[in-house]
Amino acid sequence: MPKWQRTEKRTVRPFPSWDDFLKGVRFKLSAEADFDERTSFDISDIGSADFAPSFLLRIDKSTLQPSSWPDPSDVSLVIRIVDLRLRRSELLFQSDLDNCPSVWAIPKADCNRFSWRSGVDLSVALVLKSERQAQPGQPLLRGLWIARKDFSIRARSEPRAFPIDRWTAEDFAIRGLPRDSVYWVWFITDELNARFDDAAEAFRVCLRADVYDALVYAEKTDGARALSSMIAAEILTEVLWRGLGRLADGETVERGSLLHSAVSRVAKATNATCERLRKLVADGELSSLRAFAQAAVGTRRAVTRLVATQ
């Protein structure tokens, strides 16, 4: 089997790649699921009985005709797994392109050797079978990958904590808000596309005292988790709505900013691009934006657990 070459920490591509060749490759976690275009998957709700990870290895060899490439017979398709907790990686599968199956399921014995819920990365790649004669602009080392598509599997974490203030009814009334308000997001600044050492410098969540005390008292119950998740989704929605809405045409989201953290969180959970989220804001689609935020913080899972225990 070809040896997997070390991957550089930075993007190093001295030659064109075959990445388009792998566009049709798909993945799913359970037998009942459909193959789709996602590359990030949440394993939280997959039971052991339903867990059956497999790949759709859709290959269009018509893209491999240019004479500047090595012949398809010189290339193997391999699948690598990386266990993030155990810090090890293995090649699970290797096949010549001519004999590659259309669907390949990871054997149960292999599945059981890895800590999926602690995080697993999977890569489908094309690698050279053997060394080739050096030619300008072409790969030559045995085992060098010339195309790769990555998939990540994670267990969704509980909603992150936000800076919270415990407010009385009078505190809400002073701000001209109803005394029976549950919470209010106080934006100290509207410049969310900036770096903050502490999120509290940008906004604070003002939570009614009796609600705050009840959540602290019952923080480990399904009811408290469900309510906290719903509030977290609303806060994330407001950060996205306010932050993306203030971006000028052509302005990019600054890496490391509070807004970048919010966008990245939604993108990781849903594969939504920043451009798609900006369009939702521009089109006034607040309800749709909230749906993405709910998916990012795991609201459905928290609410489902609450209902199931009643």
Q: What number is the average pLDDT over the span 35-40?
A: 85
How sure is the predictor about 12, in pLDDT bands with cuts at 50, 70 and 90?
A: very low
How sure is the predictor about 242, in pLDDT bands with cuts at 50, 70 and 90?
A: very high
pLDDT at 131: 63
Domains observed in the chain? 19-154 (2.60.40), 164-308 (no CATH)
Q: What number is the average pLDDT over the span 189-207?
A: 86
DSSP the chain: -PPPPPPPSS---SS---GGGGTTEEEEEETTSPPBS-SEEE-TT--TTTEEEEEEE---GGGG--TTSPPGGGEEEEEEEEETTTTEEEEEEEEEGGG--SEEEPPHHHHTTS-GGG-EEEEEEEEESS-----TTS--STT-EEEEEEEEEEPPPPPPP--EEEE-HHHHHHTT--TT--EEEEES-S--SS--SSGGGTEEEEEEHHHHHHHHHTTTSHHHHHHHHHHHHHHHHHHHHHHHHTPPTTPPPPTTSHHHHHHHHHHHHH---HHHHHHHHHTT-HHHHHHHHHHHHTHHHHHHHHHHT-
If one compares 25 and 42, the residue with the highest pLDDT of the two is 25
Entry pTM = 0.50
